[in-house]
Each structure stands twice: as structure tokens, then as C-alpha cells.
Amino acid sequence: MRLAHHLIRVPSGVYYFRQWIPLDLQPVMGRRFVQTSLRTRDTRAAKVYAQTLSLRYAQVFAELRGTAMPKPPRVDDIVAGAQQGALRPYEMDVDPTTLIPTRIRTDGTPQDNQAVLDALQALGNLRVVLAQPLPDLPSVLPAAASKPASGLTLAGAIKLYEEAEAATLKPNTWSQRKRAFESLKAVIGGTTPVAHITREKAGDWAHGLMTQPSSKLKDAPMTKRSAGNAVSHAAQLFVFLAQRGKWAGPNPVKGVVVMTKKEKARRKADGFQWEALDVPALKRAFDPSNLAGIRTLHTKWAACIGLFTGARVGEVAQLYLSDFVEEDGIPCIRIATDSDGQSLKTEASRRLVPIHPALVELGLLERVKELRQRGEERLFHDMRIDGRAGAGNAISKGFGYYLDKLGIKPRRANGIVGFHSLRKTVIQELQGSRLPAERRRAFVGHEPGDDVHESVYMRPWTAAELAELFPGLGWGNWLEFDRLKTLLRG
């Protein structure tokens, strides 16, 4: 009989019960496991004690998660079936007041059937023992899922969050989060006490996102991915409340919509994907006669920087003049968050990028020097980087319109071309170099690989080591430097 007994026997012969708490409930219960003495040296009694305790904990865990455990047949029914040679797959349940096993179900195999008969016999022999009080459950076991302060309404909780957190978020992030909060409030009600928000209510809200129009401006319901994003944002409200001591218990919103790995893989295969630009497209895009058609100087410069660094558009847009430094005689761009308005996608994005000789030839360092003499702070000082759509939105739109005007289109139905195409183009070109993948990842700011050798033990790459990648970018072989340099002077 496969009974999870959770038993530990100490040298004195006394049995202890030990139950590990599920990871998602450890913050709620304040520890990783519970352990208590069963006050018996009898192995059979200890097994039954442990089984009843484990089932009791399973019941509480289910209550904390807002789920219910199935109810197997009663023991009396099992005994009657056993007498007729009919036994089904089994589980064991306990009486909530006496903690005595009341239901069993078998898996139907001869071995398990016999094990159940043995167990029933053991239960009969142990009923006297079980009639005695069981050891008290540890005090850490909550009587019921804790609730937040009853007076706090959903609207009040959202207001608290906005006052404390909105200013720390990117404008676009806060905009999305606020929309998720308002959507939750519209369905559940702003005057509803937070204590009354159950997982069932949160699930009904999330289901509505995928089955009803999401707004007056949009007739179609949200996709599962969009609904999942809204759920993730809304869940942050309860994370905040828990940190403030205004909510205790499982997050009622977290996980009510989850994209499976299979769904993510299918979406990735079927969804829109960035395409690299081939050499003919690059030659057209960086032909000085065509590039002159871009109205803003910052978009022209950003495109050239992206072509030789593979940097993300936001990383390029938020560059300060102080980010242009020198290491061992090599001019570099420091991609970091040392100045106002700067942010990074991941920690791996923080890096030092050596400036390609082609950018030096195009006059980038001369441009930096000139702007410093004029007292400017940022490379693109005339462009906002605090918009809701992100620091690089103006550059991304401008370059996208430019490619569309040139007739440079994606090759596939679900392809996309734009500024990010330059990043993909650089990465694919460097892929053909003989230098190791970890050096290429460091150059473009990708996360280290799964190898602990790279992620834990390796030091940062030097500018000289990363500059060895430059021969892999052959754009300088066909760029018209003199005409481009004149164009980039403004």
C-alpha cells in the first residue's frame, strides 16, 4: 500500500512526522517544513498517524490554494467490496474531527488489494490507539487562509499602489498595469473589500478578458497571451499588499491564465518575427542618397550605431555623452543605467562595447566632442526618452517608416523589418566568426549560456577582446564614408 508516511525515526525509537511545505505556500506559512513528534515507537501506529497528518496538511494546502480535494469511497463501502473480491484504486481520507481514516481506494492490482486488506486489519487493531488524541498539529498550520485588513477596498488598494509604485515604473509599464487594475476593478467592483477577492472571482475576470471585447475601441476579446499579461500585471497588486502586510495568503490572481510551453512554442512559430536585412537591403538603406531622406539627425546616427554594435534601439536612444569612454586606448560605449532615464532589458545588457573603426571614421567621436563643448548631456539631446512607448520609440518609428518608403519589406508573411532588424543582422553576421559564442553574447548583451563555466566563473570581456569581432562586420567594405560623414554632420 503506497502510503506517504513522512516518517523519521530518532535514535530513541520515537517516530517523528515531517512534512515539506510546497514552495508557493512557504511564504504564507513562514517556513519550509513542519515537524512534530508522534509520541510512539509503534511502526504501524506511526504510519497511520503520519498518513492522517499528511492528509490533513494536504487539505489545508488545498484550502489555501482555493481548491478542493476529491472524496473517495467510505471505508465501510471498501470493506463490503473487499468481502466480495471487488477493490478499486484507492486513496485514504480522514474524519476531520477524529483524524481517523474513513475512506480508502486501491489501484486494483492483486498486490495492492492484499495491501489494503492488511491495512484494514491494521486499522482494526489500531482503533484503540487511534481513539487516543493525536499529537497536536504544529502551531504554524493556519486554521484558515489569512485575510487582509477587512476595511481596505480594491479601489483603495489600487490608489495605495499608485502612490507608492507608479513613479518607479517605466511609463509604458505603469500604463499597462493601470489598465489591468482598472479592468479588474470594473468587473469586481472598486468598493469590494480586498478580503473578498477570491481566486474564483479573479478567474472569472480573466475568463472575461478572453471572451468579451476588451474595450469600447476594440471589438475582439484579448488573446490568451494578452490576457496573461494583464493577469501578471494585476497580480503585482497583491504582491505589493503582501509586502505592506495588508494581504496574507496565496495571490488570488497569479496564474489564473498561464501559457503552456506548447502554446508558447506554437505562438513563436506562427507569430511575427524580426527578420535580418540582407546585404542588398543594407546597401539601399545606407546609401547616402536614400539616407538623406530621413528627416531627423538622431535617427540617421542611431541607424549607423546599430549597424556596427547590434545594440537595442532603447540602448542607443538613451546614450549620454558620459557613456563614451576609453579602455586601454580603445574608445567604447558604456551601456548602463548611470544617468537619469536609462534602463536595461536585463542585467546582461550592462556592458562595454568597443566602437567600431567605421563609426570613428564617420565622425562619431567628433560629434561627441562637439556636443560636450556645447554643454549638452545626451547624444540625442533633442529627442525625448521618457515617453510611454519607451526611450527609442521615435527612432524605431522613424527608421521603420524609412524602410517602408524604400520598399524594403519582410520576406515572409509573418516577418517584421525595422530597427531591430539591424540587431539581428549583426548577430547573424557574427555567428559566422570563429570567436566563441560567449564573446558574441557579451558584445550584444545577451544572457550567458547555461554553462556554469560562463555564467559564474568567467570575468567580463575586455574591450580589446571584444574588438576582435570587428572583422566579422564587413559593412565598411561598401559604405560610402565621405558622403555619409557629410550627411551625419547635420
What percentage of the chain has pLDDT greater than the value 70?
77
Q: What is the mean pLDDT of residues 174-201?
A: 92
The C-alpha cell 586606448 sits at 329
Residue 90 has pLDDT above 80, yes or no: no
- CA–CA distance, 28 with 22 (Å, rounded to integer): 10
* pLDDT for residue 356: 95
Per the CB < 8 A criterion, the answer to whether 276 and 403 are in contact is no
- For 311-351, write each residue's pLDDT tens digit: 999 999 999 999 999 998 999 999 999 998 898 888 889 99
* Residue 382 reports pLDDT greater than 50: yes
Residue 412 pLDDT grade (very low, low, confident, very high; cuts 50, 70, 90): confident
d(CA 114, CA 126): 18
Taking each helix axis as running N to C, give the angle between helix 393-406 and helix 419-431, from 0 to 180 degrees, rounded to the nearest 10: 80
pLDDT score at 261: 80
Q: How many other C-beta atoms are found inside a 10 Å radius of the C-beta of residue 168?
A: 8
Domains, the chain, with CATH or none: 7-131 (no CATH), 154-262 (1.10.150), 274-487 (1.10.443.10)
Q: Does the pLDDT of residue 171 top 50, yes or no?
A: yes
Whether residue 62 contacts residue 96, with contact meaning beta carbons closer than 8 Å, is answered with no
Predicted structure pTM score? 0.60
End-to-end, the C-alpha distance of the chain in Å comes to 82
List of residues 6+ apart from 163 with CB closer than 8 A: none
pLDDT in tens, 452-486: 777 777 888 899 999 999 988 888 788 998 999 99
Q: Give dist(CA 282, CA 354) in Å, integer.
A: 22
**pLDDT value at residue 58:** 77
pLDDT (0 to 100) of residue 29: 63
> Average per-residue pLDDT in the chain?
80
- Report DSSP letters for 86-155, one per residue: -------EE-TTT--EEE------HHHHHHHHHHHHHHHHHHHHHHSPPPPPPTTS-SS-----TT-BHH
> Is the distance from CB of 354 to CB of 329 less than 8 angstroms?
no
Q: Which SS3 state, helix, strand or coil, does residue 273 take?
A: strand
Backbone angles phi, psi at 260, to 5 degrees: -75, 165
Contact, 154 vs 184, CB < 8 A? yes
C-alpha closest to that of 65 among 252, 193, 232? 252
CB atoms within 10 A of CB 442: 22
Considering only 62-76, 96-110, 204-218, 245-259, which range has the smallest mean pLDDT?
96-110
- Rounded Cα distance, 487 and 289, in Å: 9
